[in-house]
Amino acid sequence: MRPPLDRQEAERLVETYADLILRLSYTYLSHTQDAQDICQTVFLKLLEKAPAFASRDHEKAWIIRTTVNTCKDLLKSHWRKTTVAMDAAAHVPAPEPQEGSLLAAVNLLPPKYRAVIYLHYYEGYSAKEIAQLLGRSPAAVNSQLSRGRAQLKTFLESEGYP
């Protein structure tokens, strides 16, 4: 391994290979932003490892192989498999709570109680975590949870739930 690349060498590598990396990444990923991320990742790997190349052909082969491997890693990542693009998600409506369901009853609570009840019981956040998320004190969140539960209980009892 050689010493870290100097600025001039790093600029040469970017000028020589940035387009190649972007085009190759785009052919794998079909997404411009992901291809740009791959390009940055490949150059970071190149700067961190600073491998000694026997020739320009060896250098280019390393860039191509690293680009392909990085694209494949992204394609098989858990994050990639469990997310969708924002524009695809915009067309999916939020599920409507069924009439008479507990979630429908929670949605009838005032917003300050509804938010903490939802985050606590449906998303599994602790009172301390909810306080951080909403910018409130843990004591205020605990109080809102208690009051929200009481209002929910009163509402459910008035609707005939045991």
Tell me the DSSP string of 44-78: HHHHHH-PPPSSHHHHHHHHHHHHHHHHHHHHTSH
Position with higher pLDDT, 149 vs 83: 149
Position with higher pLDDT, 160 vs 58: 58
Report, as an integer, the average pLDDT of 135-139: 92
Cβ(86)–Cβ(75) below 8 Å: no
- The percent of the chain in helix, strand and coil, each rounded to the nearest 5, is 70, 0, 30
Mean pLDDT is lowest, of 1-15, 30-44, 130-144, 147-161, for 1-15
Helix (H, G, I), strand (E, B) or coil at 99: coil
> What is the reported pLDDT for 21?
93
What pTM did the predictor assign? Answer: 0.50
Q: CA-CA distance, 145 to 13, in Å (whole number)?
A: 57
- Alpha carbon of residue 87 to chain centroid: 15
Contacts 24+ apart (CB under 8 A), 30-36: 31/85, 34/74
**Average pLDDT over the chain, rounded to whole?**
84
Q: CA-CA distance, 158 to 162, in Å (whole number)?
A: 10
User: What does the pLDDT look like over 30-48, one tens digit per residue?
Assistant: 888 999 999 999 999 988 8
Q: How many CB atoms within 10 Å of residue 93?
A: 6
> What is the reported pLDDT for 88?
66
Q: CA-CA distance, 134 to 132, in Å (whole number)?
A: 6
User: What does the pLDDT look like over 95-115, one tens digit per residue?
Assistant: 555 666 777 888 888 888 988
Q: How many CB atoms within 10 Å of residue 84?
A: 9
Report, as an integer, the average pLDDT of 66-95: 75
- Alpha carbon of residue 98 to chain centroid: 29
